[in-house]
Structure formats: structure tokens, C-alpha cells
């Protein structure tokens, strides 16, 4: 193997084939399903399989509430693109601060009852550049980070180039121990998620705020898997728990419950202005297109008042958990809308996903390492308001069939074996 620039001395392609072989050896090589969602018919979609197009049902989308097909959201996007064109035309500084973006930031600040908000091109970027920029402005900052934080937060912490301490997941005694042993005069930033998306558990937001107040720390919460879905206006777990005013920075995405694309942070004027002025991931990239901003604003506004999506979402998640559990499937305990089903082996997890798609027309992506720890591989199911009883029953039947074909333990057998 020789790459064009290699001149015969170097085997550049070899580096990449070796890298890919490592992933295949570890059963971590990812294969994407080529899907075409159908607006107005969620969760039905077309799968462009190797044998040609097939009708399937998606059971793992993070467009949790189906807002990506909502007429108000689609309408706002089409109308704005028709009126203002497609791209933003530049970075925010050059020509990218379009009016729908300004309106979106106002809407987000209002959603979280903060003075200001700042939009980024993704939730990933908002964490990566937001956390690092904030920490860098605080001399000798100590970051305290939950062990289960998402990769975007881990990258933000790394790029802050300051000291970090990892507290055991949701372990308040450990967090307190770390806070108590830090210099009281040192700036401290606690970063955590409100809802951990692979297990579906939530953070004790108020208890973290209690500790932050006691030890003089700042709080930064990732509400990516909660905004739109929790709280009377969709302000997330912090709104549901009455803690919005106690959190310094609320970070979220426009790409999951709001059905669009982009990320944001909300906080005080000075904090947001600092990130706007110093964050490379904000400054040196093209702004979100006006049509995307208008669509996101339409989704946020709708979910501020409509309870139907939130209530139906919770109802569908509860129903799915109950039906799968009644079928003896190993549903992992989750107090939220996430329904993880335990597999515990990367190959079987991939095989289960492949069989579901090929034999039952059900798409559920396998969740393997490094997204979850080895040995805890799972199928992560995300029911939406549009998954009706017929679809839920069909899912349970398909899963039982796959479990039996792969010899995976059903609940009674798993318990008997313990």
C-alpha cells in the first residue's frame, strides 16, 4: 500500500488501515445505517439497505419529541430559507449575526431565566469551547467534573489546561470531599450533566448547588438530554427541580428535543460576553444559518406552552418499559425517557441490532465501548410521542425473538443464574 505523497519511503495508508483494523479487532468498528426519515410519518423511515430501500421503524432517535417534523418548525425553516437564503454568510463577527439568531438567543435566555445566551454550531462545540474558555479566564481554576460526563465536556476540561478532579458519578460525598480539600480562595467550577443519556439517570441538581454555595464554586450543567422535555416550559431538569436560578451556566442543544441543529450556553451578561469575546470555537466558525435558527425558535416557543409532547413522551416511555419488562427483557432501571436494555457483550449487541433491522425492520443502534464501559453494552431505546401501542408491542415481540435466537438471557433466567 502506497499513498500518493509517500514517495515510496513511507506507507501512510498503512497507518490508517492499521487504525481501522484495531477497531475491528476490538469489535468497535462502527457501521452507519443509511436512513431517510419521513416528515409527517415519524418514527417510520426508509432504510437504504444493501438490497435496496426498505420500510423501518426508528427506535433510537434523539429527536425525542418529533419536533423535527412539526409543521411549525418545518414551516419556519422553509419560510426563512425562502426569504433569507440558506447560509449565514460568515462568522458572527463578519456577516453571520443574522436577525433570527439574535431572536433565538433572546428566546433561550428567557427559557432559562438568564440574562443572556450564546448559540454555537453544536452542543459539542458549546461544551468544548465554553468550558475551556470560562476556566481559562479564572486564574488557577480547579475543575470538578462528574465521572460520567460526555466527551464534549471532557474535551472542554482538557483544553482548559488547568487542574481537574473527577468525582464519582453523582457521588455528593466525594464531591464535597474534593471541594473541602481545595483552597477556599481558589476559583472552582463544577461541571455535570442533568440527565445522563446512556443510563437515563439524573443529577441531584439542588444538592450540587448546595455544595457549590457552601464551598463557593461555580456550576455548569449540560441539559442536552433534558431541554424541551422536563420542566413546565421545557427548561430542563434544573427548571423541573426549581434550581434554574442557582446554576451559573446552563448548556443545551437545539438538535435533540428541539429537532434542529446547534448548541448554546445561557448565563449572566458578563459570562456570556466573555465567551463571545474569547472562545475560538465561537469566533472562528460560520454562524448557524437563519433558517435553522428560526426553526429552533419555533420549536422552543411551541414547547414553552404545549404540554402534549412532554406528557405523551413520558407516557410512551413508561409504557415501553412496562411492556418490555413484562416480556422478561432485561430493561435497565431508568427514571426518565431513556429505556436501556442490557446486553453486556459488544458482538451480541451488534448482532442484536443487525437482526432487529434485517428481520424485523426495527432500527436500534448498538451502544458499545467507549460510549459505555466494556461489559455494559446495551440497546438504548428512545420512545417518542409517536410510538403507539402497536409499535411498542411489535418491538417487544421482535426483541424477545432476537434474544432467543442469540441465546441472550431473559429476566427470569438471568435472575436464576445469579
Chain residues binding ligand PLP by CB under 6 A are 122-124, 127, 150, 152, 193, 197, 222, 224-225, 253, 255, 263
* Per annotation, catalytic residue among 114, 188, 256, 350: 256
Rounded to a whole number of angstroms, the minimum distance from the CB of residue 256 to ligand PLP is: 7
- Residues 72, 73, 74, 77, CA torsion sign: positive
Query: Of 313 and 348, which has the nearer Cβ to ligand PLP?
Result: 313
C-alpha cell at 215: 464551598
Rounded to a whole number of angstroms, the minimum distance from the CB of residue 248 to ligand PLP is: 17
Rounded to a whole number of angstroms, the minimum distance from the CB of residue 130 to ligand PLP is: 11
C-alpha cell at 277: 469575546
Query: Of 100 and 262, which has the nearer Cβ to ligand PLP?
Result: 262
Query: Of 345 and 377, which has the nearer Cβ to ligand PLP?
Result: 377
Do 295 and 74 meet the contact criterion of CB atoms below 8 Å apart?
yes
C-alpha cell at 18: 492499521
* Strand duo 366-367 + 116-120: pairing: unpaired
C-alpha cell at 231: 420542566
| Secondary element (H or E) of residue 106 | helix 99-111
Rounded to a whole number of angstroms, the minimum distance from the CB of residue 346 to ligand PLP is: 20
User: Is 164 assigned a catalytic role?
Assistant: no
Query: Of 150 and 301, which has the nearer Cβ to ligand PLP?
Result: 150
Rounded to a whole number of angstroms, the minimum distance from the CB of residue 234 to ligand PLP is: 16
Rounded to a whole number of angstroms, the minimum distance from the CB of residue 333 to ligand PLP is: 20
* Strand duo 142-146 + 116-120: pairing: unpaired
Rounded to a whole number of angstroms, the minimum distance from the CB of residue 68 to ligand PLP is: 13
284/305 Cα distance (integer angstroms): 35
Task: Look up cell 448559540; give the residue.
Answer: 119
To the nearest 10 degrees (0 to 180), the angle between helices 123-136 and 269-278 is 100
Query: Of 77 and 402, which has the nearer Cβ to ligand PLP?
Result: 77
The dihedrals phi and psi of 188, each to the nearest 5 degrees, come to -130, 135
5/262 Cα distance (integer angstroms): 37
Query: Of 264 and 403, which has the nearer Cβ to ligand PLP?
Result: 264
Q: Compute, in degrees rounded to 10, the torsion defined by CA atoms 384, 41, 342, 404.
A: 140
Q: Which residues lie closer than 8 Å to 15 by C-beta, 6 or more apart?
A: none
196/205 Cα distance (integer angstroms): 13
Do 315 and 244 meet the contact criterion of CB atoms below 8 Å apart?
no
Query: Of 262 and 330, which has the nearer Cβ to ligand PLP?
Result: 262
Q: Minimal CB distance to ligand PLP: which residue?
A: 123
225/140 Cα distance (integer angstroms): 31
Supply the residues annotated as catalytic. 256
Amino acid at each position: 500500500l502506497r499513498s500518493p505523497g509517500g514517495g515510496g519511503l513511507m506507507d501512510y495508508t498503512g497507518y490508517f488501515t492499521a487504525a481501522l483494523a484495531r477497531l475491528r479487532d476490538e469489535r468497535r468498528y462502527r457501521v452507519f445505517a443509511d436512513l431517510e426519515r419521513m416528515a409527517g410519518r415519524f418514527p417510520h423511515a426508509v432504510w437504504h439497505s444493501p438490497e435496496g430501500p426498505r420500510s423501518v421503524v426508528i427506535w433510537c432517535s434523539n429527536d425525542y419529541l418529533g419536533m423535527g417534523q412539526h409543521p411549525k418548525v418545518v414551516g419556519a425553516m422553509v419560510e426563512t430559507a425562502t426569504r433569507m437564503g440558506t447560509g449565514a454568510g460568515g462568522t458572527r463577527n463578519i456577516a453571520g449575526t443574522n436577525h433570527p439568531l439574535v431572536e433565538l438567543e433572546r428566546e433561550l435566555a428567557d427559557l432559562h431565566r438568564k440574562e443572556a445566551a450564546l448559540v454555537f454550531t453544536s452542543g459539542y462545540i458549546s461544551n468544548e469551547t465554553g468550558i475551556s474558555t470560562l476556566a481559562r479566564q479564572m486564574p488557577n481554576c480547579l475543575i470538578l467534573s462528574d465521572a460520567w460526563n460526555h466527551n464534549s465536556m471532557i474535551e472542554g476540561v482538557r483544553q482548559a489546561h488547568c487542574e481537574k478532579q473527577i468525582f464519582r458519578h453523582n457521588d455528593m460525598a466525594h464531591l464535597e470531599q474534593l471541594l473541602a480539600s481545595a483552597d477556599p480562595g481558589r476559583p472552582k467550577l463544577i461541571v455535570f450533566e442533568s440527565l445522563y443519556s446512556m443510563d437515563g439517570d439524573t443529577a441531584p441538581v439542588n444538592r450540587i448547588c448546595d455544595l457549590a454555595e457552601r464551598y463557593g464554586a461555580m456550576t455548569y450543567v449540560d441539559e442536552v438530554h433534558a431541554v424541551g422535555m422536563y420542566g413546565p416550559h421545557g427548561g430542563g431538569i434544573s427548571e423541573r427541580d426549581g434550581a434554574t436560578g442557582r446554576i451559573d451556566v446552563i448548556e443545551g442543544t437545539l438538535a435533540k428535543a428541539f429537532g434542529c441543529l446547534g448548541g448554546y450556553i445561557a448565563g449572566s451578561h458578563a459570562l456570556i460576553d466573555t465567551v463571545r469575546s474569547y472562545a475560538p470555537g465561537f469566533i472562528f466558525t460560520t454562524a448557524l444559518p437563519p433558517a435553522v435558527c428560526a426553526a429552533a425558535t419555533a420549536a422552543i416557543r411551541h414547547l414553552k406552552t404545549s404540554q402534549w409532547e412532554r406528557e405523551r413522551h413520558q407516557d410512551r416511555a413508561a409504557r415501553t418499559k412496562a411492556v418490555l419488562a413484562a416480556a422478561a427483557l432485561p430493561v435497565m432501571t431508568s427514571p426518565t425517557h431513556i429505556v436501556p436494555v442490557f446486553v453486556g457483550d459488544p458482538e451480541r449487541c451488534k448482532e442484536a441490532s443487525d437482526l432487529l433491522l434485517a428481520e424485523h425492520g426495527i432500527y436500534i443502534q448498538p451502544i458499545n465501548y467507549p460510549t459505555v464501559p466494556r461489559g455494559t453494552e446495551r440497546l438504548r431505546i428512545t420512545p417518542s410521542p409517536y410510538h403507539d401501542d402497536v409499535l411498542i408491542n411489535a418491538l417487544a415481540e421482535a426483541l424477545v425473538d432476537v434474544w432467543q435466537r442469540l441465546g441472550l438471557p431473559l429476566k427470569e433466567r438471568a435472575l436464576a443464574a445469579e
